[in-house]
Amino acid sequence: MYINNVKFAKNNQRQTGKVDLTKLSRVQEIDSYSGELNFELIGLVDKLNRPTLNLRIYGIIHTLCQNCLQPMDVQIDNTSGITVFYTEEQLDAALFGDASSGVEDGVLAEEEFDVMQLVEDEVIMLLPYATKHEKCIGMSYADKAENPFEVLKNII
């Protein structure tokens, strides 16, 4: 899925789709996440007249609880603004130089901009790490090792 990212932004275009986490190779390299996420890309022009892409990613990620190793679901819903720049210099200055640029993230203007690549980059940033059930009933190895006296008390 390719777009001209400047035209897309200036024409307020909108694109939606879904991604299957099991089919994203860079995601699978990190861990065996699964689930289907929705994305919505909206083009707009910001206050400074810069072409911008708003990318919302939402859905449920299936992963494992790091405590009991049972499946758990993590709900995500995140929107980020990505400013389109015409030159590498402008992009670098906005991202790394000027803290008041108001730029969250940036990309270069491209006639054939790869939407799925952008979505995958964003999904990787949103992946939950070291997740645990809020009220996990499983006992971790660490808990068992820390409480030898509890065990003793039950025997006595």
Residues binding Zn ion (CB under 5 A): 65, 67-68, 133, 136, 138
Nearest distance, CB of residue 73 and Zn ion, angstroms: 12
Residue nearer to Zn ion on the CB measure, 55 or 65: 65
Residue nearer to Zn ion on the CB measure, 42 or 65: 65
Residue nearer to Zn ion on the CB measure, 130 or 156: 130
Query: Taking a C-beta distance cutoff of 8 angstroms, is the pair 52, 82 a contact?
Result: yes
CB atoms within 10 A of CB 67: 19
Nearest distance, CB of residue 154 and Zn ion, angstroms: 23
Nearest distance, CB of residue 153 and Zn ion, angstroms: 25
The CB-nearest residue to Zn ion is 65
Question: d(Cα 114, Cα 67) in Å, to the nearest integer?
Answer: 38
Pairing state between β 71-85 and 113-114: unpaired
Question: d(Cα 109, Cα 112) in Å, to the nearest integer?
Answer: 9
Nearest distance, CB of residue 66 and Zn ion, angstroms: 8
End-to-end CA distance of the chain: 67
Residue nearer to Zn ion on the CB measure, 29 or 134: 134
What are the start-end ranges of the H helices in 74-134?
88-92, 115-126
CB atoms within 10 A of CB 11: 13
Residue nearer to Zn ion on the CB measure, 22 or 66: 66
Nearest one of 72, 79, 63, 88 to 135, comparing CA atoms: 72
Nearest distance, CB of residue 71 and Zn ion, angstroms: 9
